[in-house]
Structure formats: structure tokens, C-alpha cells
Amino acid sequence: MSEVIIKTGKENMDVTMIHRFLTEDSYWARGISYALVDRSLTHSFCTGAFVNGNQVGFGRVITDYYTFGWFADFFVLPEYRGQGISKKILSHILEQPWSKRLRRKMLNTSDAHGLYRQFQFKDLGNPSYVLEVYQPDIHLQYREEIEASQVL
């Protein structure tokens, strides 16, 4: 395999490829609109893995850069899996000075516990303290409104 280059910043991401993967191949964002993906990247720390100039992996952190970060939308294209690319993306993010000082880092995953445990993610220490409003398909209900909106 050619060298994997890690880049950050939405301006360096292939938003079309990210949207295609999320809407067609992910279990967590099927049917998500391009506008929603595009706007969500604007408000996140985006990290991508590139091989020969093409983006092959992605992950983002929704964060205030001081106390909290939510790790979201991590993926590697199927043909590039098993080559340590996810670890490179995660390592790059966790090496950032702002990431080191975060009091809490969280994520959801249905199938990559082993990967994240290698980076010190653990089961919730006090799950009874964590509450949520979970609306997994809300993006489908508000798709037209989101696409038409110019509001952040």
C-alpha cells in the first residue's frame, strides 16, 4: 500500500465521498442529506486519511476544544480496512494538544469496541448518570428543512 497521509480541516476533506459512505454504507446515518453532512463537518474537527491523493478514511470530533469531545462518523473504506488506517486517524486526533486536555471523550459504536479500547475508551463508569434523547432517523424527517436552511 502507498503511504497514508493524514490531513485535518473540512477544506481538505472529500465531502462528497464522506456523504456517499455515510448515506449508503454506514449503519448510523443511512439517508442523511448532503447538506446535513456538509454543515456538520463545518462545526467539527475533521480528520481524513488519504492514499495517492484519494480520501480513504474519515473521523470527526465535535468539541469545545477544552473540556469535551464527541468522536463521530469514523470509517475506513472497505478496501482499505485492516491496514491500521483507523489507528492512524485516532492517534493523530489524540496527539493534538487540545485533545490531550479534554476531560471527557465519548463515542457510540456497535462494532468497533476493540479498536477504541486500544485508545483508552472504556464502558461508562456510571451509566446511570448518562441520559439521552435518541432520535436516530430525525435527519430523514427534517431533510427538506435542513437542505433549505441557511442557518448554522
In order of their start, the domains of the chain are: 4-148 (3.40.630.30)
How far is 99 from 122, CA to CA, in rounded Å?
Answer: 17
pLDDT of residue 118: 94
**Cβ 29 vs Cβ 135: under 8 Å:** no
pTM for the model stands at 0.89
Do β-strands 4-8 and 104-107 pair in parallel, antiparallel, or remain unpaired? Answer: unpaired
In the chain, the percentage of residues whose pLDDT exceeds 90 is: 80
The tens digit of pLDDT for each residue in 60-74 reads: 999 999 999 999 999
The tens digit of pLDDT for each residue in 88-112 reads: 999 999 999 999 999 999 999 999 9
